[in-house]
Chains A and B, each alone.
Chain A
Amino acid sequence: MNAIFKALADPTRRRVLELLKTKPMTAGELSDHFPFSKPTMSAHFTVLREADLVDVQKSGKTVIYRLKLSVLEDALLGFAGAVGVVARAAAAPKSRALKKGTS
């Protein structure tokens, strides 16, 4: 359960799971949606795989990722996303105030 919470705590990994809801994707296709390097994305994929939230299948040279969420994990993903949005919204005025204070 700890691995699942760790995996869902990161917005990039949550976004990966949201993308996989549409269809299975290769590592390259998923990486194209993010401004991160391949090793960084690979580390995110590893965390998701260790939490058993994605399934990995090799097809020739390509690695295909598929969503592997139970209903409870899906609900946790939605909840973590909602909390993340609220937390970002709450943090935004504070950071703006801090910037104003320093300038």
Chain B
Amino acid sequence: MFWKSILSSIIFALLFAPAALGLKWAAAHHIVSGDIPVRGMEMLMGLLIAFYGNAIPKTLQHLREGRSESGRVQSLRRTIGWLLTVGGLGFAAVWASAPLSEAVGWSMAVMGTAIGLIVVSIVWTHMAQRRTGQPAR
């Protein structure tokens, strides 16, 4: 699992660096317009967030805690996964379609909303754990 995670990170790094260099080179030689390198890299960033968000609910830990507790953690992971995936796709969609001057604000608003909702859901789950007397993890 650890090596798989390292390997996927290395693959993404190998994908990102040539993509950034290639887009910069293409823009410098007027093959693509000047805003494409920025848009392209930000879109890749959004898709990367969506990719990792998609995998979050699938990663399970050993069933040490009670089953209802495990269900709550699983539900939290699903919520976080959905929010990051939708947020990442929204981020990429904004950078693909919005005017460059507005894309920064809108993309930050999309990701900020997703992260805010993640924080709320973590706090909510933590409070539910405390109400039922289960130890917080």
Contacts and interface: CB of A to CB of B under 8 A. Distances in A.
Chain A: interface residue count, which band? 10 to 19
Interface residues of B, number: 19
B67 A23 contact: yes
B125 interface: no
A74 B57 contact: yes
B46 interface: no
Interface stretch (B4-12, B77-85, B104-112, B128-136): B77-85
B121 interface: no
Contacts of A70: 54-55, 57-58, 81
A59 B63 contact: yes
A71 B57 contact: yes
B67 A64 contact: yes
A59 B70 CA distance: 14
A72 B85 CA distance: 9
B85 A67 contact: no
Contacts of A24: 63, 67, 70-71, 74
A22 B67 CA distance: 10
Main SS of the interface on chain A? mixed
Interface in A56-83: 57, 59, 64, 66-74
A59 B54 CA distance: 29
18 contacts: A21-B78, A22-B71, A23-B67, A23-B71, A24-B70, A57-B63, A66-B74, A67-B78, A69-B57, A69-B58, A70-B54, A70-B81, A71-B56, A71-B57, A71-B78, A71-B82, A71-B85, A72-B54
Interface of A: 21-25, 55, 57, 59, 64, 66-74
Interface of B: 53-58, 60, 62-63, 67-68, 70-71, 74-75, 78, 81-82, 85
